[in-house]
Amino acid sequence: MSVALLKDGETWTLRLAGIVNVSEADPLHAAAREAARGAPRIVVVECAGLEALDTCATQVLLALQLSLAATGGVLRLERVPPPVADLWRQAGLDVLMTQKP
């Protein structure tokens, strides 16, 4: 698993790669907390290298989205792999997250 938070003005990028699950969620939690505290206008979650993620990681992203929305910010998911998009769609979460191909 790899998590990287890149800061560029009002748009920050959270890059996820590999399998993100509860047993290795600490880096994701830390990056999400930092992004929430930094209050950027937009956080782009780059998912191109993402193989899979579990409900714990999904909850972290949803919490980040709520935190950003409270300050007028936006969480945008980009290049979400089909298996992850399917999981979110089946759980009814796809309508809660802004996705860009």
* Residuewise pLDDT in 10s, the chain (101 residues): 899 999 999 999 999 999 999 887 899 999 999 999 998 999 999 999 999 989 899 999 999 999 999 999 999 999 999 988 888 888 887 766 666 65
Query: What pLDDT score does 100 carry?
Result: 65
For residues 92 and 89, what is the distance between their CA atoms, to the nearest angstrom?
5
Query: What pLDDT score does 94 carry?
Result: 73
Q: Identify the CATH number of the domain defined by range 2-100.
A: 3.30.750.24
Query: What pLDDT score does 87 carry?
Result: 86
> What are the extents of the domains in the chain?
2-100
**pTM assigned to the model:** 0.89
**CA 65, 68, 74, 79 torsion: positive or negative?**
negative
